[in-house]
Amino acid sequence: MQYHYIAGQTPLDEEEKRGLIPNLITREDLNAFEQENILEARQWVMQKTTLSKLDVWTEKFLLNLHKRMFGHVWKWAGTFRKTNKNIGVDRLCIITELHQLLGDAQYWLEHQTYPISDLAVIFHHRLVKIHLFPNGNGRHARMCADVIVAKFNGEKLSWGGNSNLTKPDDLRTRYIAALRDADVGDYQPLLAFARS
């Protein structure tokens, strides 16, 4: 399997690469395999009537969702990153940063700091900025945002018309640029992108 990385992606180390479950040859095969797994996870999470509003803000749910999204593809699905990457906090800070974010999110919700869809987009950005996993952080965080909007009846997000965003095209370039603005505190481009 040849790995080529595009802008805004985090390369895998050798150990993480060995976690690939199916015998895939090309990046296209990998993308397709992941996409199928992700669709299955989306159906699971959107129909999961036992998932309460409180469950969404738990480490357990976030890990479980990643496992559901990538568990047929990567052995390490649903487990925290153990290596440092070009994006994300130091691996040793992942859990504390995550719990800080979960606390912030509950506060925003309680005090109605943001409209739900803004809260979901900001939550997604904070998640990718922490970078919980070796891979799949973007797709996982966007699905989390979609779940938040669905659970709390927010305005649906469209992510530029395609929440997969794995192709190195204009849409992805705009998404990554908007994330970089959000990194320095300007959320407007990302909020606009997520609704476009």
Ligand X SMILES: Nc1ncnc2c1ncn2[C@@H]1O[C@H](COP(=O)(O)OP(=O)(O)OP(=O)(O)O)[C@@H](O)[C@H]1O
Site residues for ligand X per CB under 6 A: 8-10, 87, 128-129, 135-139, 166, 176, 179-180, 183
- 166 contact choice in ligand X, Mg ion, none (CB below 5 to 8 Å, kind-dependent): ligand X
Closer to Mg ion by CB, 34 or 118: give it: 34
Which residue in the shown chain puts its C-beta closest to ligand X? Answer: 138
Show the tokens assigned to 106: 């509950």
**Where do we find the tokens 């997969």?**
164
Task: Please give the backbone phi and psi of residue 74, each rounded to the nearest 5 degrees, phi first.
Answer: -125, 130
Closer to ligand X by CB, 10 or 64: give it: 10
Closest separation in Å from C-beta 173 to ligand X: 11
Among 88, 179, 127, CA closest to 191: 179
CA distances from 103 to 59, 106, 145 (A): 11, 5, 16
- What distance in Å separates the CA atoms of residue 4 and residue 19, rounded to the nearest whole number? 17
- 154 contact choice in Mg ion, ligand X, none (CB below 5 to 8 Å, kind-dependent): none
Query: Residue 20: helix, strand or coil by DSSP?
Result: strand
Pick one of 64, 117, 135, 163: the residue that binds Mg ion (CB under 5 A): 135
Q: Could you tell me which stretch among 2-10, 43-51, 61-69, 121-129 binds Mg ion (CB under 5 A)?
A: 2-10
- Residues lying near Mg ion in the complex (CB under 5 A) are found at 9, 135
